[in-house]
Amino acid sequence: MLQTAASLSRLGTESAFEVLARAQALAAQGRDIINLGIGQPDFQTPAHVVQAGIAALRDGHHGYTPANGIPALREAVAADLQRRHGASVDPDCVVVVPGGKPTMFFAVLMFGEPGAEIMYPNPGFPIYESVIKYSGATPVPIALREDNDFAFDADTVLAQITPATRLIIINSPANPTGGVTPKAEIDKLVAGLEKHPHVALLSDEIYSQMLYGGREHVSLLNYPSMCERLIMLDGWSKTYAMTGWRLGYAVWPKALVPHVTRLCINDHSCVNASAQYAGLAALQGPQDAVAEMMAAFDQRRALIVQALNALPGVRCADAAGAFYAFPNIEGTGLTAKQAQDLFLNEANVATIAGTSFGAWGEGYVRFSYANSAANIERAVERIGKLLR
Ligand code: PLP
């Protein structure tokens, strides 16, 4: 009998990958599955970015790079953050990693251990709760509510801080709700954190370029008082439709850079060199593809929110960011998991139960609108038939 570590039993998962596998298996049996489950843009990476990756391979970039990323890429990230947020970032504080996830894993490993508390959004990206538990720390949920437009409430967050709190994770625009936290609430959180200098903040801003209705992203980088304890996570996956390239980064407090670099060296050495050159082209080249993708998402968002609201027993808030609709389905009499299974098995539509994002997701289902308008219409029509 193999003796594996007890910590393994505390590691959770991201159900979107399981639903994807099930949807693909059903499709392989000949079923016409519409996938509104997985959270990845249905667009191709812009052609000039792909070309830059190919050129890097042809030009002989086949070896290791510095563990924290090639200097030109870290400088380009700093320039991009200056352009988008007006923030002055030292390129030496930028650490390039394989995707958005490694930053959250490393941040939680750095602060989490038995006795420590880490706050995280619930419903939220499932990996937060999973890795907090894995680290042995106590996960403390920040409940996100529909009646607060799925924004976090700064007073609630601040009231949950104890001497054991080491890290607070926030995410705006948010997965799975599409919620965007207003600037006033972020101002209040930052002001309140001044009384708690022992608490670090991980701001997951992976959807920072995906806002609708004229909303503007508020980056935590814009709060100089936080710079010694802010980890700001962003990356290429969503903005440039590059989920499979595995490329992301974070801006770290200077004092933590040696620690995260050592974690990188222990874990993956460095990111694939050609992906880094592709990421450089994405930041430095034309941004039209980003604008085009966002225009398409905006149209689909209007379509899906309206269509979902027309379903019996379903109520859907107007998603403010990311590419997810998160309707309340309590009126159907189904639990979140029952709805997910019914929609997939009976309507051939893959969605994700709200409970896959934490206990506060009960009564909700996540629909990713990273699919064509025609497919979104067909999917909601099928679910409508089923519910009627
Ligand atoms: N953060 C959030 C909130 C996400 O929704 C995702 C992906 O769905 C990630 C991070 C991870 O992105 P990546 O695929 O780059 O690891």
| Interval 161-204: pLDDT, tens | 999 999 999 999 999 999 999 999 999 999 999 999 999 999 99
Residue 69: what pLDDT? 98
Tell me, what amino acid is at 267? D
Whose tokens are 């407090």? That residue is 253
Residue 40 has pLDDT above 90, yes or no: no
A 10 A CB-CB count for 356 gives: 23
Cα distance between residue 33 and residue 24, in whole Å: 8
Residue 209: what pLDDT? 96
b/e map 22-60, b = 16+ CB within 10 Å: bbeebeeeeeebbbbbbbbbbeebbeebeebbeebeeee
Cα distance between residue 318 and residue 177, in whole Å: 10
Query: What domains sit in the chain, N to C, each tagged with a CATH number?
Result: 6-44+288-387 (3.90.1150.10), 62-284 (3.40.640.10)
Average pLDDT on 209-217 reads 94
* H or E, element range at 293: helix 288-309
- Residue 89 pLDDT class (50, 70, 90 cuts): very high
Q: CB of 161 within 8 A of CB of 198?
A: no
- CB 235 near ligand 1, within 6 Å: yes
- CB 173 near ligand 1, within 6 Å: no
- CB 204 near ligand 1, within 6 Å: yes
Residue 79: what pLDDT? 98
Q: Which of 130, 144, 175, 242 has most ligand 1 atoms within 8 Å of its beta carbon, as the pocket-test mutant?
A: 175
Ligand 1 nearest atom to the CA of residue 124, by list position: 3
